Structure 1
Amino acid sequence: MRLLCSCGQTMILSFRMVIFEDVYQIDLVPILECENCASFELVPSIKQDVTKLLAELKQEHREGRVVFTHVNELAAVLYDIYESGQGEVELSSFEAVVIEKCEERINLLLDLYGYAKKTGDCDWMEEISFRLSGLSSFVKTRQFLET
């Protein structure tokens, strides 16, 4: 995905580890990185989720490394796109790919939810519902780059 930086140059999708207070590490956080001035920023649509996770880690006094793509479904979809090489397209095309991949993931999660319900696994159903809620909200609002 390509976007313009405040310096006027291209920003690309990348993934980094965010370290907070030298204690909490969140790996594979999607960022937009400028190829020219080396500045970077969190992908706006996941900023709130990263902040929420940091607050939870701090509240629980849970130190160490958390892989963001394991706890955030949108980040996981973005990482899959990034790894497949589909992230190297213009913004309008990239957003279409993101929406398509989110919809595919929603369908997969709905299938998993049906299976979890069939087997009576309430914990799994709750986890899947949580994962679905973030993606469904994102697809509904389609606010990938809005703050």
Structure 2
Amino acid sequence: MQKECKCGKTLSIQLRTVKYSKKIHIRNVPIFSCENCEESEVLLDVKEDLTQLIQKIDPSYSKNQIFFNEINEFAHLLYVSSEKELIHIPIEDIIQLRINELLDILLLAQSLHDTKWVNETEKRLLQLTELIHF
């Protein structure tokens, strides 16, 4: 997944922190970034989830940081695949492990009749299937 910057250099994907309302740090957001001109932009594939997250933040939110990789599967995969102990594992294997993990979570959520948890897990699985077909 590469993109060209307006300066002509190739943008790289990095997990960065996005500041919201000067007090909340949204960590591990996948960003296209140019090391040459320092231009950056949120990846289109995660922009909708980031926008939805920001819209859901209550003005009285007391925490000062949110981990985007806990909300978005693409961010999660980038985060996990950059861990030193997993760097040697092919991304396809990491994706398969995550799918299996989410399927286990889905079964547990269904057995507990937790509709919110089921819906959230199904959304995450959908994000992964969209990534696989990318």
Same fold (TM over 0.5): yes
Pick 1 or 2: higher relative contact order, CA cutoff 8 A, min separation 6. Answer: 1
Cα 1:40–1:85 shift into 2, 3 Å = farther
Question: In structure 2, what is the equivalent of residue 66 of structure 1?
Answer: 66
Measured in 2, the distance between the counterparts of 1:31 and 1:85 equals: 20
Measured in 2, the distance between the counterparts of 1:82 and 1:3 equals: 20
Shift of 1:113: 1.9
Of stretches 100-109 and 28-37 in structure 1, the one that deviates more from structure 2 is 100-109
- Alpha-carbon contact 1:24-1:54 (below 8 Å) kept: no
Shift of 1:85: 4.9
Q: Deviations over 1:5-28 (max 9, x none)?
A: 121112211111111221332111
Q: Percent identity among equivalent residues?
A: 30
| TM-score w.r.t. length of structure 1 | 0.70
Number of residue pairs matched by the alignment: 128
Q: Is 2:103 aligned against 1:105?
A: no
Q: Deviations over 1:17-59 (max 9, x none)?
A: 11122133211111111121111111110011111101111xx
SS at match of 1:32: strand
| TM-score w.r.t. length of structure 2 | 0.76
Measured in 2, the distance between the counterparts of 1:101 and 1:115 equals: 21
In structure 2, the gaps of 5 or more residues are: none
Shift of 1:67: 0.7
Cα 1:35–1:2 shift into 2, 3 Å = farther
Cα 1:68–1:102 shift into 2, 3 Å = same
Measured in 2, the distance between the counterparts of 1:81 and 1:7 equals: 29
Backbone CA RMSD of aligned residues: 2.7
Which residue, 122, 128, 134 being the options, matches 1:129? 122
Structure whose residues are more often helix by fraction: 1
Q: Which runs of 4+ in 1 moved over 6 A?
A: none
Q: Is 2:37 aligned against 1:43?
A: no
Question: In structure 2, what is the equivalent of residue 92 of structure 1?
Answer: none
Question: In structure 2, what is the equivalent of residue 8 of structure 1?
Answer: 8
SS at match of 1:22: coil
